[in-house]
Amino acid sequence: LKTCAQRPHAPFYAPGHKQGKGISQQLSTWLGLEIFQADLPELPDLDNLFAPESVIKEAQKLAAAAFGAKDTYFLINGSTCGIIAAILATCDSGDKIILPRNSHQSAIAGLILSGAIPIFINPEYDSSNDLAHSITPAALAETLQNHPDAKAVMMVYPTYHGVCGDINAIAKLVHQYHIPLLVDEAHGPHFHFHPHLPPSALSAGADLTVQSTHKVLGAMTQSSMLHTLGNRIDSERLKKALQLVQSTSPNYLLLASLDAARQQMALYGNQLMTNTLALAKEARDKISQIPGLSVLETTNTPGFFALDPTRLTVRVSELGLSGFEVDEIFHQQLGVTAELPTLQHLTFIISLGNTEADIHQLIQAFTKISQEYYQPQEIEEIGEMGEKANFSSPLPTPHSPVRAKHLDSQIMIKQQSVSPKCFAPTHSPLQKTHSPLPTLI
């Protein structure tokens, strides 16, 4: 890509900005011209994403070797297109696929496009933390016995909060039925590179896994990889499925970032993860000592086999605030932005791009908000719901995903399913009468 970008020539092909010469001056002043000079189409020297023969083929082979796969496919429509393609490659219309209720919306899109019939498994619900974790081998075994004609099983590993199920046991169980295990490993592309992280999906027996390289490694946003191992996945059908859901004008900056991220991890992955784990441990240890806060740790409970230590989930409800309110204070006043706020928690991704200064700023932010809001005598547990969300019994599925897509949307709210007080802290940050939190400098 660098060679092509630097080659003098008269471009009469897309994109229309012609290597930056026609780009908005405001944009080029901000970003510079070099990035636009590398924004090139599928020129002869740059190979073809859907029929790779040279540089893309070589880059994908190197990625397969680095991540422990038989074959690797670069994705420029994010992990979303990989999940959809995985379902299209394993299920025809009317086929059953077993998957958890906490699947990503891309899995639902895959059901709609393929016409596959979902057999949902409820993930284990952690009432003390108000979080859904993973499916269990026991629940899967029962489901497989009831639906032995299922064509595939999909699981989320890890969850958004870094929780990992017993994937080894699940893989062995799935393979007893001679069907593939598909894994949404969007948040786990770093697992392969350090022994103190949970095992990667492929090393634990998965047949196909989709990883968001951009989420925790050094690739650009929207850049992901799909890996396969073994012979349970029809590679030709998978390639056709990927061609259906990826752009026919792939962005070579995204492809190059995947190749560069692969090289970075292949050469320096262990050390980078060692440094990241040290930062995560410092944050975890210090934040857990701050009054009013607790940090999600590994528990010996169903659906919680391991935890990604670089994923930090902090419960803030004892401050008398929701996670959304703390997130707003952090972002607007304290210069810290979380990955995911929820009713009771904030979740942070600690990755190879974070620094010691980032961790110190995070700790300082939590220290300040604890000093400002933690008043034990006033606390009313946000997490005490009148009736928690029910994951123990299956929800009705009166329509197939394809038919449901074309029906009028309805929101069915069970009366008093959640107590109003769970949305109302004892005092709002906007209602406090004393001075606001200071901004970190």
Phi, psi of 290 (to 5 degrees): -80, 130
pLDDT at 299: 84
Distance CA 276, CA 383 (A): 31
Does residue 417 have a pLDDT over 50?
A: no
Q: Is the pTM of this model over 0.95?
A: no
Residue with tokens 């992955």: 269
The candidate with the shortest Cα–Cα distance to 274, out of 193, 192, 212, is 193
Phi, psi of 295 (to 5 degrees): -110, 135
At residue 210, the 3 state secondary structure works out as strand
Residue with tokens 């709210």: 413
Distance CA 11, CA 20 (A): 11
Tens digits of per-residue pLDDT, 181-238?
999 999 999 999 999 999 999 999 999 999 999 999 999 999 999 999 999 999 999 9
Sheet containing strand 224-228, strands side by side: 71-75, 224-228, 208-211, 181-184, 152-156, 96-100, 117-121
Does residue 310 have a pLDDT over 80?
A: yes
The single-letter code of the amino acid at 293 is: L
The candidate with the shortest Cα–Cα distance to 352, out of 214, 255, 216, 243, is 216
CA torsion sign for 200, 206, 208, 210 is negative
Tens digits of per-residue pLDDT, 258-305?
999 999 999 999 999 999 999 999 999 999 999 999 999 998 788 999
What distances in angstroms separate CA 108 from CA 224, 234, 328, one per listed residue? 19, 22, 30
pLDDT at 57: 98
pLDDT at 414: 39
Does residue 161 have a pLDDT over 90?
A: yes
Tens digits of per-residue pLDDT, 100-158?
999 999 999 999 999 999 999 999 999 888 999 999 999 999 999 999 999 999 999 99
Domains and CATH numbers, the chain: 1-41 (no CATH), 48-266 (3.40.640.10)
DSSP class of residue 368 equals: H
Residue with tokens 């990927």: 242
